[in-house]
Amino acid sequence: MSSPLKTALVIGFLMFLLQFVVGAIVGRFFLGLLIATGGALWLGYQVYQTEKSYRSW
């Protein structure tokens, strides 16, 4: 059974890669990097909170 933090990190990293690739394709490398970092951190945090709440039941 994986920990909530590990799940959040994996999903956040995958989201970061996806958004970074999309940002790079658009051509704004630095902007894509910023959006990818912010999106990955936000999504990772949401997943972490959700996992924690499910495990507290």
Domain span at 42:
4-55
3-state secondary structure of 1: coil
For residues 20 and 32, is the Cβ–Cβ distance under 8 A?
A: yes
Instruction: State how many domains the chain has.
Output: 1
Per-residue pLDDT tens digits for 10-33: 887 888 788 777 777 776 667 777
**Considering the chain, what percentage of its residues have pLDDT values greater than 70?**
88
pLDDT for the residue numbered 1 = 47
pTM equals 0.51
Please compute Rg for the chain using Cα positions.
13
